[in-house]
């Protein structure tokens, strides 16, 4: 439910509204806009409380939202959210160009890749220090040493960094180093982790699960938002299908679908969606054209030696060409990829 506060409501009245909402068993979320102040009310809307809330002094209107995701809904905020990651804004016409290797393998290797993607125009550096792998015998990441390397290289090239968190026990450690948490597809419905991330105020890149619907994705975002962390960026990265010529099936319809239902930014990860470097550039272009707020691309200067997901990584030269192409598309749409 959304409570629209009267324009002339006093702070005392607003505080009383917040207290009364809590007394009725709901959780209030105060949002102060440029023109109006609204209060998001989270709880069971089937309870007959709308009339009682509307009678509180200072309330102009009570609007029910019957979607299960309330704070993530377009009804809660008609204005697109812009998420700030370091100096980078994601959303509102400002696009993220996220690039880097799947995993942090060495300081020297990450330095080379970061130098190339930064020169090409990437504005957010990615790299995994903890890797969720299908096989327990595969490379699992460098752990805290990888975080230190990623932070140092990000500082060197003046790029904010994003890295994956897999477990609630890693949140405090990773928060010391990263500018943005990534919650991977396998953890999209790890609700304990979502709740813990919701208690932080560090931006979050939430990837869609391999068998998750758009509704499922938005419900997972709701967990983070309900915890008080409003800095959520969604990510479409492909879903399971019967097609076996690509790693997953990239669902580009998810971009306008999410945009119609939610105010949250959404980016696309064609690397994990297709698993094929020959398809990544075209899918990046299509993603921006479909309205995505950025793309997420794996880049490696020697994919054959990569310790994780080498076959789906673009070479630096191809990424440089892609960045030029994406800037052209963004400009035609009245958007910008900030350096």
Domain spanning 2-63, CATH architecture: 2-Layer Sandwich (3.30)
Superfamily of domain 83-332: Aldolase class I (3.20.20.70)
The 10s digit of each residue's pLDDT in 225-244 is: 999 999 999 999 999 999 99
pTM, to two decimals: 0.86
Beta bridge pairs of residue 297: 99
DSSP 225-265: HHTT---EEEEE--B--S--SSSSB--TTHHHHHHHHBSS-
Q: According to the per-residue pLDDT averaged within each range, which of 65-69, 140-144, 256-260 is highest?
A: 256-260
Residue 46 has pLDDT above 60, yes or no: no
The 10s digit of each residue's pLDDT in 115-163 is: 999 999 999 999 999 977 777 767 778 999 999 999 999 999 999 999 9
Task: Work out the pLDDT band at 288, boundaries 50, 70, 90.
Answer: very high
Same CATH topology for 2-63 and 83-332? no
Indicate the angle between helix axes 107-120 and 144-156, nearest 10 degrees. 40
Phi-psi region of 267 (alpha: psi -120 to 50; beta: other; left: phi over 0): beta
Average pLDDT over residues 289-293: 97
Taking CA atoms, 1 is separated from 37, 71, 73, 206, 221, in Å, by 14, 9, 11, 24, 17
- Residue 127 structure tokens: 């790299």
Dihedral sign, CA of 307, 313, 318, 321?
Answer: negative
pLDDT of residue 294: 98
pLDDT of residue 49: 58
Average pLDDT over residues 200-209: 97
Q: Which is more confident, 179 or 42? A: 179
Per-domain boundaries in the chain? 2-63, 83-332
The 10s digit of each residue's pLDDT in 299-308 is: 999 999 888 8
């Amino acid at each position: 439910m959304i409570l629209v506060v009267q324009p002339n409501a006093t702070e005392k009245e607003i505080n009383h509204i917040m207290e009364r909402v809590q007394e009725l068993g709901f959780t209030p979320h105060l949002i102060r806009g440029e023109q109006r102040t609204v209060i998001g009310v989270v709880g069971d809307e089937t309870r007959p409380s709308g009339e009682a809330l509307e009678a509180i002094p200072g309330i102009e209107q009570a609007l029910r939202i019957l979607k299960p995701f309330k704070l993530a809904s377009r009804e809660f905020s008609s204005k697109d959210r812009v998420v700030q990651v370091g100096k980078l804004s994601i959303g509102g016409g400002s696009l993220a160009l996220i690039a880097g290797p799947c995993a942090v393998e060495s300081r020297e290797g990450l330095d080379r890749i970061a130098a190339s993607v930064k020169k090409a125009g990437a504005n957010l550096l990615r790299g995994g220090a903890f890797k969720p792998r299908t096989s327990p015998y595969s490379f699992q990441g460098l752990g805290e040493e990888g975080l230190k390397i990623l932070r140092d290289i990000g500082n060197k090239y003046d790029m904010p960094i994003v890295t994956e968190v897999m477990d609630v026990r890693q949140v405090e450690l990773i928060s010391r180093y990263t500018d943005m948490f990534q919650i991977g597809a396998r953890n999209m419905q790890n609700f304990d982790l979502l709740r813990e991330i919701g208690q932080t105020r560090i931006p979050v890149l939430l990837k869609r699960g391999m068998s998750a619907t758009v509704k499922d994705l938005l419900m997972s975002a709701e967990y983070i938002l309900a915890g008080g962390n409003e800095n959520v960026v969604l990510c479409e990265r492909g879903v399971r299908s019967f097609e076996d010529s690509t790693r997953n099936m990239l669902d580009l319809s998810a971009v306008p679908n999410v945009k119609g239902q939610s105010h949250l930014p959404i980016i696309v990860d064609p690397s994990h969606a297709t698993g094929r470097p020959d398809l990544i550039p075209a899918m990046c272009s299509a993603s921006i054209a479909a309205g995505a707020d950025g793309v997420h691309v794996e880049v490696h200067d020697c994919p054959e030696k990569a310790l994780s997901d080498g076959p789906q990584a673009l070479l630096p030269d191809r990424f440089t060409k892609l960045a030029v192409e994406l800037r052209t598309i963004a400009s035609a749409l009245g958007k910008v990829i900030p350096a």
